[in-house]
C-alpha cells in the first residue's frame, strides 16, 4: 500500500484523457479528502514550456498541501513541429528540443517545485511515462524524440526518487505506462491496435496497483496493472 489512509491529491494535466480520468476517480475516492487540478486551459494555467512561471503557480497549491498523491498526466507525442520521427533522416534539432521540453524538462522542473509539497510519511509522485521509453523493451525503433524524452524522464525520476527518499523513505516515485489508451495523443496511431483501453479503465487499474504495491528503494517503472517494466 503506497498511499496513506487519507490524503490530499493533485492532478496535473487534468484536461487530458488520462488526467481527467484520474480527477474523476479520485473525486469519488473516500480516502481523498481534497483534490486540486492543474490544466493549461484553466486558471492559473501553466505551460510546460514556460518553467519560469512554475514557482508562482505552485504557490497557489500550498493551501491544499501537503499532498499524499501527485499525478502528472501531461505529455505530448505529436508536436507543433510534426508527427514522431520514424527514421534518422527525419531528426531535427528543433523537433527533438520540443519533445524534451514537454516530456522531460517541463515535468521535471515542475517536480522540482512540487516535491516540497509532498506529505511526510507515505506519499506518491506518479508521472505518466510510456513503455516506449524503455531501452530494454525497444525492439521496433522509431519515435526517436518521444522515446528518448521518456527514457530521459525515467532517469530523472530515478534520481529524484533516490534524493527524496533520503528525507522520507516512504515517498514512492512512479513512472507509469497507462496502456494504449484512447485519447487525443494516441488517436492518430490507433489503427490496427487491438487492445485500446478507455481512460477510466486504465486509471482504475493504476489506482488498484497503488493499493497492492509496497514501497521500494528508488523509482519504479510500472504498467497499469502494477507490473514492472524494464527501464
Ligand X SMILES: NC(=O)c1ccc[n+]([C@@H]2O[C@H](COP(=O)([O-])OP(=O)(O)OC[C@H]3O[C@@H](n4cnc5c(N)ncnc54)[C@H](OP(=O)(O)O)[C@@H]3O)[C@@H](O)[C@H]2O)c1
Q: How far is the CB of 144 from ligand X (least distance, A)?
A: 15
Looking up cell 498526466 gives 73
Residue 177 engages ligand X in binding (rule: CB under 6 A): yes
Tell me the three state secondary structure of residue 209: helix
Asked whether position 181 contacts ligand X by CB under 6 A, the answer is yes
Q: Is residue 58 within the footprint of ligand X (CB under 6 A)?
A: no
Contact with ligand X (CB under 6 A) among 68, 122, 145, 178: 178
Binding mask 12-41 for ligand X (x = CB under 6 A): -x-xxxxx-------------------xxx
Query: Taking CB under 6 A as the rule, does residue 206 contact ligand X?
Result: no
Minimum distance from CB of 194 to ligand X (Å)? 13
- State yes or no: cis peptide before 66, omega within 30 of 0: yes
The reply to whether 228 sits near ligand X by the rule CB under 6 A is: no
Q: Is residue 48 close enough to count as binding ligand X by CB under 6 A?
A: yes
Choose, by CB under 6 A, the member of 91, 184, 217, 230 that binds ligand X: 184
Question: Does residue number 174 form part of the binding site for ligand X (CB under 6 A)?
Answer: no
Instruction: Note whether 203 and 16 are within 8 A (CB).
Output: no
- Does 78 interact with ligand X (rule: CB under 6 A)? no
Distance CA 161, CA 172 (A): 7
Residue with cell 493504476: 206
Tell me the angle at which helices 144-167 and 93-100 cross, rounded to the nearest 10 degrees: 30
**Binding flag, residue 128, ligand X (CB under 6 A):** yes
H helices of 53-132, in order, are: 54-59, 93-100, 106-114
Kindly provide the b/e burial profile for residues 193-202, where b requires at least 16 CB atoms within 10 angstroms of the residue's own CB.
eeeebebbeb
Q: Tell me: does residue 216 bind ligand X (CB under 6 A).
A: no
Q: Is 225 in the site for ligand X (CB under 6 A)?
A: no
Binding to ligand X by residue 183, rule CB under 6 A? yes
CA dihedral 45, 104, 138, 76 (to 10 degrees): 20
Residues 219 and 161 sit within 8 Å (Cβ to Cβ): yes
Pick 46 or 125: Cβ nearer ligand X: 46
Residues 33, 8 contacting (CB under 8 angstroms):
yes
Binding site for ligand X (CB under 6 A): 13, 15-19, 39-41, 46-49, 73-76, 102, 128, 130, 177-178, 180-181, 183-186
Amino acid at each position: 500500500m503506497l498511499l496513506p489512509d487519507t490524503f490530499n491529491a493533485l492532478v496535473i494535466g487534468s484536461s487530458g484523457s488520462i488526467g481527467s480520468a484520474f480527477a474523476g476517480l479520485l473525486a469519488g475516492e473516500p480516502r481523498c479528502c481534497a483534490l486540486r487540478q492543474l490544466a493549461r486551459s484553466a486558471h492559473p494555467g501553466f505551460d510546460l514550456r514556460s518553467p519560469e512561471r512554475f514557482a508562482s503557480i505552485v504557490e497557489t497549491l500550498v493551501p491544499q498541501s501537503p499532498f499524499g498523491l501527485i499525478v502528472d498526466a501531461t505529455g505530448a507525442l505529436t508536436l507543433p513541429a510534426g508527427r514522431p520521427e520514424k527514421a534518422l533522416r527525419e531528426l531535427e534539432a528543433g523537433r527533438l528540443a520540443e519533445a524534451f521540453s514537454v516530456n522531460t524538462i517541463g515535468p521535471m522542473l515542475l517536480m522540482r517545485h512540487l516535491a516540497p509539497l509532498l506529505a511526510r510519511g507515505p506519499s506518491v509522485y506518479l508521472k505518466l511515462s510510456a513503455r516506449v521509453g524503455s531501452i530494454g523493451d525497444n525492439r521496433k525503433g522509431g519515435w526517436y524524440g518521444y522515446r528518448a524524452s521518456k527514457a530521459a524522464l525515467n532517469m530523472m525520476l530515478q534520481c529524484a526518487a533516490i534524493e527524496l527518499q533520503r528525507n522520507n523513505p516512504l515517498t514512492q516515485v512512479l513512472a507509469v505506462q497507462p496502456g494504449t489508451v484512447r485519447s487525443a495523443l494516441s488517436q492518430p496511431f490507433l489503427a490496427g491496435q487491438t487492445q485500446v483501453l478507455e481512460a477510466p479503465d486504465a486509471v482504475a487499474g493504476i489506482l488498484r496497483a497503488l493499493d497492492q504495491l509496497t514501497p521500494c528503494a528508488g523509482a519504479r517503472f510500472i504498467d497499469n496493472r502494477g507490473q514492472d517494466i524494464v527501464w
